[in-house]
Structure formats: structure tokens, C-alpha cells
Amino acid sequence: MGHDYDIIIIGAGPGGIFSAYELCQNAPGLKIAVFEAGHALKQRKCPIDGDKIKSCIGCKTCSIMSGFGGAGAFSDGKYNITNDFGGSLHKYIGKQRALALMHYVDTINLKFGGEGTKLYSTAGSQFKKQCIQYDLHLLDASVRHLGTDINYQVLGNLNRFLEDKVEFHFDSPVDAVSVTEGGYTITSGQKSYTCDKCIISVGRSGSNWMEHICKDLGIATNSNRVDIGVRVELPAEVFSHITDELYESKILYCTQKYGDMVRTFCMNPRGAVVTENTNGIITVNGHSYEDPEKHTENTNFALLVAKHFSEPFKDSNGYGESIARLSNMLGGGVIVQRFGDLIRGRRSTPARIEEAFVTPTLKATPGDLSLVLPKRILDGIIEMIYALDKIAPGTANDDTLLYGVEVKFYNMEVDVDRNLESCHKGLYIIGDGSGITHSLSHASASGVYVAGKILEGMGLPHP
């Protein structure tokens, strides 16, 4: 008996969108459905307006994390083209193929509205030498910065391209996936749908669901990492010699005190610090616009310390959530502290923040991060701030703002083969939900890759 669809894609984030794009571009006859827990792009709106609604009210589906475009829809749209960070896709498909796919994704983004945006690169940068003199290590990458505004336009154009080729089911979380003869049945609410092949791309917000599905279907998983830290905000001039040339710089530092790895993450020149809601826990993030009119006076970036756990502890994300919960308990959300207050062992007060030379771009509660972050993590962050001060003098100024906490959760890594196919033939797991990718470019590339593998398996041509 025929199935309802040739292919069902679960999740309309970059992974899901790019697999849908590649499939219908190369095989227009295929019947494809995309099931998405969140809203259609136009309906995605966070109710926080800073006026009537100042903090998260816990919507049924979070418009920041879910819906067409996935977690990246309102992001800064930084597509890092590199194997050095953003995921371990290259371990599955090879370094050259992974890079080629990321470049391919870039051409699609340009075709759908990103033309004219800047591509930055570390290649030939003098800054690498300057870093190494202070034991700071700059990772190689090219970065396409779409900016929050253009990123949204690209998504809108992709949505228009796909809407008459793919059947979209929005506000339709998939509850269960079961293996049937010759395919899969997915259940969403009261209805069930069948397909030959299924691509699961549920991202970070689908991590708990993914864990259940893996248990149900006997797919092995592995998880042991969480990154914890703060978001640093300072006058844009302090980092402008770096951000003007590279836009985003990923710098690694190994602390002298404990030998822990601290890194810069998600740099937003002239951007804004924002809150993020993961499973009801408020953490901090940042973004910036391409449009100069929306620029702020400040640059922000995260400083994160990677925490790897060994047996018997398995719940690395639970550990990160507990720390974030502590900051929510003390600050009612995100806490902000001046670096000068932190090293003097005193809390920041509204008056101290008010008098400071740096004006915060996020309304957070002045407080004391040393009551939230474990000493070892905080020591690492302080040590790196002093190291960064050598290449960007002013980083360790008293008025530098630290927002806490920033947590980078990692999905457990799902056991898939070189085709990103699970132990069940025709069931593919991609994007951040697979634990293999942690970024827009890697997640998108994994979508294109799996679409190619499916077309190949069907004997259909693809580039």
C-alpha cells in the first residue's frame, strides 16, 4: 500500500528547510510534508514588548526558538563556514564535503536575498599573530553575516519558494514516530501520517523529545558536555579593530590556573544583548543588525567554559539548567554585573550600573555573579578577560558588563552512520537535534547532505 508521503521532515529549522529545498529542487515529483511544532514565519512573534510584557510568559510554543526558520529565525544570521567549530559534521562526511556544502548553503542564502552582505575571513589576518603572542588562539573561519534583518528576509523568500512544493503543517508537534513495514508512521495530535522516509531535524528545543524517540526506537545516544559562562558587553571601540576586519572572532584560551578551555562565542559588533528561553529557563544571548540605523554603541560576545563530565554523571544539560535556574532565582531572570564590582567582591547595584560609562542594552537585574557561577568557571572567565585585555585594551575596564548566565546546551549525540541514517533504514537524524551540529551553517549543510543521500538512494540525479 502506498504511503501518504514519500518523505516527512520533522522540524522547519535550517536543517529541515534545506533538506526540503534540496529535495524539491532536484525531484519536483516527490510528495514531501514538513511538520513543525511552532508557527508559520509571519505568526512568529515574541509577546515581550518591554512595555506591557517585560519578561517571558511561557507561551505554549516559544516564537523565538520554534516555527519556520527554527531557532535561527531572529538570530544574527552568522553563517560560519568552517570545520573548526559549529559542529562535527566533518567527522561523518569528511572535511572537504562539509566545507563544500557550507559554501553551497551560502550560495542559496545569497540567491534568496543575502546578496550584498559581507563575507569576513580570518585568512591572512595579522590578528592571528597578535593573539598567539598572548597565548590566545584564533580559529580559522569565513563568516557570512546576514544580520537579523536580512536573515529574516532570506527565510521569507525560502518560505515563498517552498510553500507550493511542500505541504507544511504548522503548530503540529509530532508526538511519536514508529517503524512500519517499508516506512514510518508519525503521529501529531489525533492524526497519523505515513511515509517512506523520515528526516528528523528538531533542533535544541526538541532535545527532550528526541531523547524519548531514541529510547522508543532503540537508537543509541551519548551526552556529556555543557558550556557555561557570561555575555560580555563593552563599548564597540574596544573590539572595533578586530570586528571591523573579522566581524566574528573565535578565540580560545587555556587557563593557567586549571588548564580549562575558555572561548569567545557569538560576537555581535554594535549589537544588543537579549534573553533566551530554554524550557522555561531564562538565559542570555546576543544579536546585531546589518542595518547601521539599528546599531548600538556596544559590542557583545559570550565567554564560555566547556564542562565535560565522566561516568557516572550523565545529565550535563541538567547541570547547566540548574546554574541558570539559580541566576533566575536570584535575579528574577538575567543578572548583570560590572567587571569592577565582580573583582572587588561586591554586587552591582542599580546606582552603580546607572553611573557606569557603559549603558546596558538589556534590562537585567544588577547583582553578583559569584553567587551563581561555580568558582572554577568564574576564575576561568576572569583570567580570559585579562588575557583579552592585552589584544583589546579596555576589555578589563571596571565598567565592562557581564550578564549571566549564558549556557550553551548540547543535544546528546545520536548514533547515526556516514549517511546520517539511524539504525532504521530511511530514518535520518540531522541538525542540532542529532547533537552533530551546533550552528546555522552545519545544520543547513546536514539537510542538503541527507537530501542528496535520499535522492541517490532513489536513483534520482542531484548535483
- Residues that bind ligand FAD in the complex, under the rule CB under 6 A: 10-16, 35-38, 66-67, 70-72, 75-78, 80, 86, 173-174, 201-206, 209, 276, 285, 431-433, 438-441, 443
Smallest distance, ligand FAD to C-beta of residue 422, A: 16
Distance separating alpha carbons of residues 108 and 104, to the nearest angstrom: 7
Smallest distance, ligand FAD to C-beta of residue 189, A: 11
Smallest distance, ligand FAD to C-beta of residue 266, A: 6
Asked whether the beta carbons of 249 and 392 are under 8 A apart, the reply is no
Residue whose CB is less far from ligand FAD, 328 or 441: 441
Sign, Cα dihedral of 362, 367, 372, 375? positive
Asked whether the beta carbons of 200 and 173 are under 8 A apart, the reply is no
Smallest distance, ligand FAD to C-beta of residue 350, A: 26
- Residue 265, classified by CB atoms within 10 Å of its CB into exposed (0-12), middle (13-18) or buried (19+), is buried
Smallest distance, ligand FAD to C-beta of residue 78, A: 4
Torsion angle defined by CA atoms of residues 90, 93, 94 and 95, in that order, rounded to the nearest 10 degrees? -40
Residue whose CB is less far from ligand FAD, 3 or 438: 438
First CA to last CA across the chain, in angstroms?
Answer: 31
- Residues shown for the chain: 463
Question: Within a 10 A sphere around the Cβ of 349, how many other Cβ atoms?
Answer: 13
Residue whose CB is less far from ligand FAD, 39 or 347: 39
Smallest distance, ligand FAD to C-beta of residue 4, A: 16
Residue whose CB is less far from ligand FAD, 367 or 433: 433
Alpha helices per DSSP H over 267-363: 316-331, 339-343, 350-355
The DSSP line for 269-295 is: TT-EEEEEEETTEEEEEEE--SSGGG-
Cis check: omega of the bond before 463, within 30 degrees of 0? no
Residue whose CB is less far from ligand FAD, 103 or 352: 103
Smallest distance, ligand FAD to C-beta of residue 434, A: 8
Residue whose CB is less far from ligand FAD, 18 or 339: 18
Residue whose CB is less far from ligand FAD, 138 or 273: 273
